[in-house]
Structure 1
Amino acid sequence: MLPLWFVLPISSFILTYLAGKYLYPKIKHWSHKSIEFWDIATSCYTAFSIGSNNVANASGILSGAGLMSNSAATFMIAPFFGVGGYLLGDGNLESMGKKVTNLDMVSAGFVSLVTGTLLISASLIGLPQSLVQLNAFSIFGFGLSQKGRGSQKLGINIIKKSLAVWIFSPILAFGISILLTRITG
């Protein structure tokens, strides 16, 4: 069986590719106000999903070590996600929003909806999952679905770098964990 850290990003790619191919042409003609609402709603949904998984991953360390309760750790950690995004998130926004493909308001909503749903699904079964992987693969899928349509481009170099990180990061983390376990006995 393939691990879910591998399956979920591939699912994200496929779902967003299909949405871009078949649903995007229907929704892109909505009124501007409807599209704005779509984007705000799907972005809030994704933020909720981040709280259900990624914030829990960070706060779980504190509660698991017995330093504080689950709710206290989550309450303390959650605001730092917003601060980190505000202070350091511009590079990722630039890479994912412009270098992979040009996302418009409708496509950004699809990316948020798919990644949020998969992240919540992972949370419901108790699986830590990277929003970054899901988001990146959704953007790749959407970009590929739109390739050849108007001004859409697909940044192959950034995709290659992302794939390399996706494949080698878990291997490197596993190796470092084994090494540290042996060193500390």
Structure 2
Amino acid sequence: MVELLLLVGLAVALFVGFNIGGATTGPAFGPAVGSDAISKTAAAALMSLFFFVGAWTIGRRVVDTLGTELVTDPGVFSIESSIIVLFFIGGALFVGNYYGVPASTSMTAVGAIAGLGVASGELDWAVMGEIAIWWIVAPIVGFWVSGMIGRYLYPRINRWVAIVSTPGPLTELDRSGTVPRPRLGPNTTRREFGGAVVVVAIGCLMAFSSGTSNIANAIAPLVGVGVDIDLLILLGCTAVAVGAFTIARRTLDTLGNDITDLPLTAAIIVAIVSSVIVVGLSAIGIPASFVIIATTSIVGLGWGRATRTATFVEVVRGERTPNVSVGALAAEEPGEEAPPIGEEEDHTIPAASDLFDPTTTGRVIVMQNVVPIISTVGAYATFSVLFRVW
């Protein structure tokens, strides 16, 4: 009977890992995919590799602490309770992935464990309170930092970085020689290629960060009942890879294309802002909800760029022009077309509808709150009934 329950637990843990791959690949590589710096298949491969590196190294520490600090008595993790916790984590994440919205694995996992802790009377409210406060503060910081950059600094940064997306592939294979070798695409500039490398590298950093924290969400309950951690990390990372290559394609579309038009410059800004916040939270021991932070950063940047309608002092052709309406400066000369989105100068503001989709944004925000609630309430209700029976 115990062996059968253990197999069920492993199957549920793999299901959780599958959904983690689907939920976290989008925030990590959505900017890179949305800016055509990398394909969905390459994003899934990099996600799998760097997630494993993070899980195999630092992730072990998070596995050890998740099942001991959030509850005052780790003994509440039996095989049966672990299966139920993992079931609610995987089920709730699957709901988000089904709708193409990457939900926070950390919030969903902590919610399920908190439901167990409340039902058993073993939840450490001080630890839970500290985590909850940071979960509220961090996305707000990400939104406003990205929003202010988009509203006031984006055109200047765009000229400084000077990364313009060109049509066609970034790289291609040169088959003129005996051995094919990669080379820049026919329209690719070295600066554009360098920007693509930067945004992909930051995506790899976020994938690594995801591995350090999210592997615990899939396997920590089973480690608590004595299953070998090395085996669980290998199995969990395999399941994450499967999710990255399959269901993550929908979240990559949502994060890279549907919320906001994301040229390379914008992708770099979003990746840097969200990864800095995630690393900062990890450094102080908070399970970072980088899905939420990355999403709100993308939304904030799109909102900031779409709402640059205030008047301001700006230099136009070397002359300082005070209190000039942005709308009046949409083009250099009367009748001249404004540059494409992401290539505008200080005085060019694209239409809001081209940069920011409120409908998709609302769906993302609603689902990212609903998924952890499903996990928390479902686990609490189930364990409340079971503890009365047991």
TM tier, smaller: 0.7 to 0.9
Partner of 2:384: 182
**Structure 1 segments unaligned to the other structure (5+ residues):** none
Indicate how the Cα distance of structure 1 residues 25 and 38 shifts in structure 2: closer, same or farther if over 3 A, else same.
Answer: farther
From 9, 23, 26, the equivalent of 2:157 is 26
Aligned length: 184
Aligned-partner residue type, residue 175 of structure 1: V
Aligned residue runs from structure 1 range 30-109, under 5 A: 30=163, 31-69=191-229, 71-109=230-268
Which structure 1 residue ranges, 4+ long, deviate > 6 Å from structure 2?
A: none
Indicate how the Cα distance of structure 1 residues 126 and 72 shifts in structure 2: closer, same or farther if over 3 A, else same.
Answer: farther
Structure 1 or 2, whichever has the larger Rg, is 2
Displacement after TM superposition at 1:42 (Å): 1.1
Aligned-partner residue type, residue 17 of structure 1: G
Partner of 2:17: none
Aligned-partner residue type, residue 195 of structure 2: I
Displacement after TM superposition at 1:24 (Å): 5.9
Is the 1:107–1:142 Cα contact (8 Å) retained in structure 2? Answer: yes
Displacement after TM superposition at 1:109 (Å): 2.0
Matched, 1:10 2:137: no
Displacement after TM superposition at 1:96 (Å): 1.8
In 1, the alpha carbon distance for the partners of 2:269 and 2:367 equals: 24
Aligned-partner residue type, residue 131 of structure 1: F
Question: CA-to-partner distance for each residue in 1:41-83, whole Å, 9 max, x for gaps?
Answer: 21111111111222232232332332122x4433332233232
Indicate the SS of the match to 1:129.
Answer: coil
Aligned-partner residue type, residue 26 of structure 1: I
Structure with greater strand percent: 2
Aligned-partner residue type, residue 184 of structure 1: L
In 2, the alpha carbon distance for the partners of 1:66 and 1:115 equals: 35
RMSD, aligned CA: 2.4
Structure with greater helix percent: 1
From 341, 356, 368, the equivalent of 1:166 is 368
Aligned residue runs from structure 1 range 150-161, under 5 A: 150=350, 152-161=354-363
In 2, the alpha carbon distance for the partners of 1:125 and 1:60 equals: 20
Displacement after TM superposition at 1:4 (Å): 1.9
Partner of 2:302: 143
Displacement after TM superposition at 1:140 (Å): 0.3
In 2, the alpha carbon distance for the partners of 1:110 and 1:82 equals: 27
Partner of 2:48: none
In 1, the alpha carbon distance for the partners of 2:360 and 2:137 equals: 21
Is the 1:13–1:140 Cα contact (8 Å) retained in structure 2? Answer: yes
**Structure 2 segments unaligned to the other structure (5+ residues):** 1-128, 164-190, 308-348
In 1, the alpha carbon distance for the partners of 2:221 and 2:303 equals: 38
Indicate how the Cα distance of structure 1 residues 25 and 118 shifts in structure 2: closer, same or farther if over 3 A, else same.
Answer: same
Displacement after TM superposition at 1:118 (Å): 2.4
Is the 1:17–1:142 Cα contact (8 Å) retained in structure 2? Answer: yes
In 2, the alpha carbon distance for the partners of 1:3 and 1:111 equals: 22
Partner of 1:130: 289
Is the 1:101–1:154 Cα contact (8 Å) retained in structure 2? Answer: yes
Is the 1:57–1:128 Cα contact (8 Å) retained in structure 2? Answer: no
Indicate how the Cα distance of structure 1 residues 41 and 19 shifts in structure 2: closer, same or farther if over 3 A, else same.
Answer: farther
In 1, the alpha carbon distance for the partners of 2:147 and 2:274 equals: 13
Displacement after TM superposition at 1:141 (Å): 0.8
In 1, the alpha carbon distance for the partners of 2:234 and 2:379 equals: 28
